[in-house]
Copies of this chain bind each other. A is one copy, B any other.
Amino acid sequence: MIIVMKSGSPSAEIERVSQELRSWDITPEKCVGQHKVVIGLVGDTAEIDTRQIQNLSPFIEQVIRVKQPFKRASKEFRYREPSEVVVPTPNGPVTFGQNHPLVIVAGPCSVENEEMIVETARGVRAAGAQFLRGGAYKPRSSPYAFQGHGESALGLLGKAREATGLGIITEVMDTADLEKVAAVADVVQIGARNMQNFSLLKKVGATLKPVLLKRGLSATIEEWLMAAEYILASGNPNVILCERGIRTFDRQYTRNTLDLSVVPVLRSLTHLPIMIDPSHATGFSEYVPSMAMAAIAAGADSLMIEVHPNPAKALSDGPQSLTLEGFEQLMLELAPLGKFFGRWAKPPFATATPKFASISSTASI
């Protein structure tokens, strides 16, 4: 960290600040310029709040962090090696990571009933997904909107898992529900609105359950990595970052703005795996395929795609859901692109992928 003192700061004050810093086990190094004195801080400053230092003296003009405030999330923490998040699923372990195949997560916004979730699970599995997503607890801006079926939906996710062997990803919104959610979920999701729900971050951090951490609507990349740091610092190394669109000044044609440049930026900052959710980002199913392609080209490790057997009847987020046919079609298009980028040695679906009609009939066997 660097402290810039105001011009004309009395040298006694500079000495006093330096003294104070030494008492924090930090070594201050003074650099006297023509107009300003600058103090470089040497030592473990990652855990210090810059505002805390700012408070030391009214003569401090600026405190600048040179080292990043995140530590366990930083690339350096793992000697610049990407981390791997291995998730055991009934179909076998699935690994999220830069040097691993692209992982596909698909499913509806919310779990509506047994038939619907099992049908969707079967469909997305046949088309190449490794995980089923589906909300039991739904954060909705209106108290009058469908809030998810809660605990009973968790049971249905369990049935879909059993029927297909897919891993389950579902959101937890309340510390009080974590145990119930973790009993069913293979990956626990922290939603965008809870990215800075620090109680929840600490609590999932105290388990070893893999965590999908969605970026907050207006969270900076640094805040997002600091949210991951909460989980990592609590002892859980299994964090996957998911970009799902940020809030900007233009919301007329897309629900959010997909910030795809996070892929190379995160690669340069952190070892954690990166997932992209083009469905929430754009809010419209027609824009999902091109953004899914772009995400793969940008280097994402995983995609989360909203799929619903009948979007027109979906209890939530229908406009951004692909149909099962649409998802199968998308996977057929993504397969050669994934291969092109070396992320899939072979197509993620069974070589003789049945056309959708037959998937349905398979599903009904």
Do the beta carbons of B199 and A142 come within 8 Å of each other? Answer: no
Residues of chain B within 8 A of A290, CB atoms compared: 261, 263-264, 297-299
* Cα–Cα distance between A69 and B141 once the two chains are bound (Å): 10
Do the beta carbons of A297 and B337 come within 8 Å of each other? Answer: yes
Q: Report which A residues bind B (CB closer than 8 A).
A: 2, 4, 27, 29-36, 38, 40-43, 46-49, 51-52, 54-58, 61-62, 64, 66-67, 69, 139-147, 173-177, 193-194, 196-202, 217-218, 220-223, 226-227, 229-230, 233-234, 246-254, 257-261, 263-265, 268-269, 281-282, 286-287, 290-291, 293-299, 311-319, 336-337, 340
CB-contact partner of A52 in B218, B315, B337, under 8 A:
B315
Check A49/B142 contact, CB under 8 A, given A297-B294, A318-B55: yes
Do the beta carbons of B143 and A233 come within 8 Å of each other? Answer: yes
User: Apart from A51-B318, A296-B297, what are 8 other A-B pairs with CB-CB below 8 Å?
Assistant: A29-B31, A38-B38, A54-B318, A61-B66, A62-B66, A254-B261, A258-B261, A260-B291
CB-contact partner of A260 in B57, B58, B217, B294, under 8 A:
B294
Residues of chain B within 8 A of A246, CB atoms compared: 248-250, 257
Chain B nearest CB: distance from A41 CB in Å?
A: 8
CB-contact partner of A222 in B56, B69, B252, under 8 A:
B252
Residues of chain B within 8 A of A247, CB atoms compared: 218, 249
Chain B nearest CB: distance from A60 CB in Å?
A: 9
Identify the closest chain B residue to A267 (Cβ).
Answer: B290
* Cα–Cα distance between A244 and B29 once the two chains are bound (Å): 37
* Cα–Cα distance between A282 and B267 once the two chains are bound (Å): 14
A-B contact pairs, 16 of them (CB 8 A): A35-B67, A36-B67, A38-B40, A55-B312, A55-B313, A143-B201, A173-B197, A174-B200, A194-B197, A220-B252, A248-B257, A264-B282, A264-B287, A296-B297, A297-B297, A297-B298
Do the beta carbons of A143 and B226 come within 8 Å of each other? Answer: yes
Do the beta carbons of B251 and A55 come within 8 Å of each other? Answer: no
* Cα–Cα distance between A37 and B282 once the two chains are bound (Å): 27
* Cα–Cα distance between A266 and B144 once the two chains are bound (Å): 21
* Cα–Cα distance between A62 and B32 once the two chains are bound (Å): 20
* Cα–Cα distance between A144 and B69 once the two chains are bound (Å): 9
* Cα–Cα distance between A234 and B199 once the two chains are bound (Å): 23
* Cα–Cα distance between A227 and B143 once the two chains are bound (Å): 8
Check A257/B257 contact, CB under 8 A, given A49-B145, A51-B318, A297-B293: yes
Chain B nearest CB: distance from A216 CB in Å?
A: 8
Do the beta carbons of A248 and B250 come within 8 Å of each other? Answer: no
Do the beta carbons of B312 and A58 come within 8 Å of each other? Answer: yes
Chain B nearest CB: distance from A285 CB in Å?
A: 10
Identify the closest chain B residue to A218 (Cβ).
Answer: B218
Do the beta carbons of B317 and A51 come within 8 Å of each other? Answer: yes
Chain B nearest CB: distance from A281 CB in Å?
A: 7
Residues of chain B within 8 A of A51, CB atoms compared: 316-319
